[in-house]
Structure formats: structure tokens, C-alpha cells
Amino acid sequence: MTIFEAIRKDHDIQRELCDKLVETSGDTKTRYSIYHKLKDELKVHADAEERYFYVPLIDHDMTQKHARHGVAEHHEMDELMEKLDDKEMSSSAWLVFAKQLREKVYHHLEDEERTIFQLAGKVLTEEQKSSLESPYRKHMTSEGVGIAGENYKNS
């Protein structure tokens, strides 16, 4: 598997959790568990992706700006999650922020899959495309997230 395929599979998990989240209501167990699962997926993924995908991209002029923009978007997602953590889950504002988070995640993943993957395909060597997958996957799995993670298996 390449780093692109691994990231794309984990993105699918994130999209699915975002879709489920905005269907929840009030201060319920379901909302709580989907939100925390999504939060874990997003945080660990951003960390693994920055280390094993963005770092090599920052070395190339063609991808440097895009990688930096991606990191900035990870911070924007963190800020939205901080707002969600501060609000009562039963308040109407909570769902407003949850919908904003879903929009932000969808936009970010599309940016990565369309623009960044395409440019990364040009600057990374074939060897890197496969060798970066393993440390990325290990990082995700050790935190119990992603396609091989316990969190998802137990859901």
C-alpha cells in the first residue's frame, strides 16, 4: 500500500464519522462517543500526516506552500474542536460548530486528495511513496485509530 492509499482510507473513516455526528442530537451517549471518536481520528491523523507526509513535502518548492497550508487547516480544526469542548452538547450552538467542523474536514480532505496528492505524486520518489506508509500506519495503530485501529474496530 502507498502512503496515498493509507491516508485516503483513514479520510473515509473521518468523513463517515462527520456525517454521523451531524445526525446526532442533544446530550446523548451516541453524540458523545461519535464526537470523541472523530476527535481522536482527526488529531492522531493530523500528527501522523504532518510527520510522515508533510515533512518530506516541505523539502520541495512545489509542495512546501501546500504542506504549510495543510498544517494551518489542522490548527483550524483543532480550534473548532476546542469550541465544541467548551459548549454544552445539548445547546443548539454545539450542532452549529459540529456542522462547521464537518465542512472544514470535507474541504481539507478534498484539498489533500485532489491538490496535494497530485503534486506529491510528482515530488516524492516511488520508494518514498511506499516506505512512508509503514511509519504512518504504525503511528495510527499505536493510538488505536485509523483503518487498523482498535477504536474503529470496536465501533
* Residue ranges binding Fe ion (CB under 5 A): 49, 112
Shortest spacing between CB 109 and Fe ion, in angstroms: 6
| Residue 115 CB, nearest approach to Fe ion (Å) | 12
Closest to Fe ion by CB, 31 or 37: 37
Nearer to Fe ion, 49 or 133 (CB): 49
Of 48 and 95, the one with the shorter C-beta distance to Fe ion is 48
Long-range contacts of residues 50-55, Cβ cutoff 8 Å, at least 24 apart: 50/74, 51/135, 51/136, 51/139, 52/3, 52/132, 52/135, 52/136, 52/139, 53/3, 53/7, 53/120, 53/132, 53/136
Q: Least CB distance from residue 127 to Fe ion, whole Å? A: 22
